[in-house]
Chain A
């Protein structure tokens, strides 16, 4: 496979949720590419479509309420959205894996940690019980739970939340996935644990050469871990760039405002910015730029002309009429 080709590519993904006659446009044409050996941070407010993007990739959108209107998700050239469920299942957990937000909820309380890892590798890799046990021990060591054999035989409730998240990560990477989705894996943890888990994910990425999609609402966390960052707003990618490029020269006013809203030790005493208004009501589909109603730069054309996601500098894409021009907030 061509090294420069994306490992996973989402094209023009439109997803709508309908419930009792009401419909919500959750994703409005997502375009995003993920590469091998790269941590791609996806940042956005609550309800902006981060998790829906992740569940679309996994083919786990709740049916029948969710409907994919258009778009495709290509994994190594194959469109996952057209794949039959049985075939898709062989990809899940094996090729594409996932870590969830609240480890306490995502581990089965009735089984020991070791058993839960063994089940995965026996299912996907066809290992024998003995080999699976060895693999489980090895994985726990890898995520930093290997100091004693205790965790292997522990039930989830016997572990602290940091340990649970490590165990969850061990399960997720147990079958050497090519691509790992981490949906707010640190949000439920306190700051010190957060740091450790971020470091762990980075280390594992380096060992396994995985592509990683790291989802968070916290640009501060994303900044720490991501190589490339995409900003999602109201179901659309508004800006996507390498970390340095994005932080040095944000091209979308929303990105800029998000940056101003994270505390920074270098600018002590600076008032943190807040973005007035709230995320666009997903039931409506207005003309023009979706951020226009909250944008300090908005002018007439922003309300009528939809800005496309265009590459303005090498590897730096933005969907804004002002992108590439100089402006200040």
Chain B
């Protein structure tokens, strides 16, 4: 009982945090008097103060401002990557699950080979072919994350396909396309939504990693990974430079994972 309640509180906190993050990212220009990229060389390495609430970095830029704009790239990358992975992987999974056996084999072989590469490595490869930048990162992440969705949707489709209500729908003359839309998709959405949440978290981490490695968001644009990269050389001198972007990244990933887990339990009460 107590566990249930505390779980609910944690879930609410995670949702609240993400809502605030989204609101802050959207309202960034209103919230901050500074520009995220303009350099104030007279104000380098200022510790947190009333002027710069979270301090300034090695080029005098306001950390808080850059965090807010960094949230924008993190969230947009997550959103677009998840959308691409969801549609591409979902489509492939449905085709594999509903289609004839040879289509299933070919599609899954393709997805499995994509899945066999380490994610970051594959992301760097894709980005280096398409050129550096935020758009490339989003597309690369979307494509790379799609096999997870394809596998999930296929497995769920295969299992839902044998359910009585699908058999009943066939027995009552429902055409195949309608069976997919009305009976299969609504009954697999739960698990897919959970996966969206987890993939979102993963996308945020990878975007930061790629930016940290220099192939993602390009300076002077703001990204948490880029901020960490800048901070690396001044850890002793200005620890706040690394601390806040790191904290934001950790909290965001944590929030998405908590939401994913809670939803997963809600959709599958037997696990709880």
Contact = CB atoms under 8 A, between A and B. Distances in A.
Interface stretch (B90-98, B138-146, B165-173): B165-173
B272 interface: no
Contacts of A106: 164-165, 167-168
Contacts, number: 61
Contacts of B170: 60, 92
Interface residues of B, number: 17
Interface in A72-127: 89-94, 97-98, 100, 102, 105-111, 119-120, 123-124
Contacts of B173: 89-94, 123-124
B186 interface: yes
Interface string B144-186: 0000000000000000000111011111111100100011001
A105 B187 contact: no
A172 B173 CA distance: 11
Contacts of B164: 100, 102, 105-106
B172 A120 contact: yes
A58 interface: yes
A171 interface: yes
B165 A89 contact: no
Given A89-B173, A91-B173, A92-B173, A109 B168 contact: no
A110 B171 contact: no
Given A105-B164, A106-B165, A108-B165, A97 B172 contact: yes
Contacts of B165: 105-109
Nearest to B174: A123
Nearest to A98: B171
A171 B171 contact: no
Interface in A168-183: 168, 171-172
Contacts of B172: 92-93, 97-98, 120, 171-172
A107 B183 CA distance: 10
Nearest to A88: B173
Given A102-B164, A123-B178, A108 B183 contact: yes
Which of B164, B174, B183, B186 has the most CB atoms of chain A within a 10 A radius of its CB?
A: B164
A27 B182 CA distance: 34
Contacts of B167: 60, 100, 106
Contacts of A110: 183, 186-187
B171 A60 contact: yes
Interface residues on A, range: 20 to 34
A90 B175 CA distance: 9
Contacts of A120: 172
A109 B164 CA distance: 11
B173 to A, nearest CB: 4
A93 B174 contact: yes
A197 B175 CA distance: 29
A58 B163 contact: no
A94 B173 CA distance: 8
A172 to B, nearest CB: 7
A100 B173 CA distance: 15
Interface string B119-136: 000000000000000000
A46 to B, nearest CB: 18
Which of B167, B168, B170 has the most CB atoms of chain A within a 10 A radius of its CB?
A: B168
Contacts of A172: 172
Contacts of B175: 89
A102 B164 CA distance: 8
B182 A108 contact: yes
B182 A93 contact: no
B177 to A, nearest CB: 12
B171 A93 contact: yes
Nearest to A172: B172
B231 to A, nearest CB: 48
Contacts of A90: 173
A60 B163 CA distance: 14
Interface in A126-151: none
Interface in B5-26: none
B168 A100 contact: yes
Interface string A275-288: 00000000000000
Contacts of B163: 105
A57 to B, nearest CB: 10
A56 B174 CA distance: 17
B266 to A, nearest CB: 14
Which of B165, B173, B174, B186 has the most CB atoms of chain A within a 10 A radius of its CB?
A: B173
A60 B178 CA distance: 17
Given A108-B183, A123-B174, 14 more contacts: A60-B167, A60-B171, A89-B173, A89-B174, A90-B173, A91-B173, A92-B170, A92-B171, A93-B171, A93-B174, A100-B168, A108-B187, A111-B182, A171-B172
Interface of B: 163-165, 167-175, 178, 182-183, 186-187
27 contacts: A60-B170, A60-B171, A92-B173, A93-B171, A93-B173, A97-B171, A98-B168, A98-B172, A100-B168, A105-B163, A105-B164, A106-B164, A106-B168, A107-B168, A108-B165, A108-B169, A108-B186, A108-B187, A109-B165, A109-B187, A119-B182, A120-B172, A123-B173, A123-B174, A123-B178, A168-B168, A172-B172
Which 3 residue pairs across A and B have the least CB separation, nearest first? A105-B164, A93-B172, A92-B173
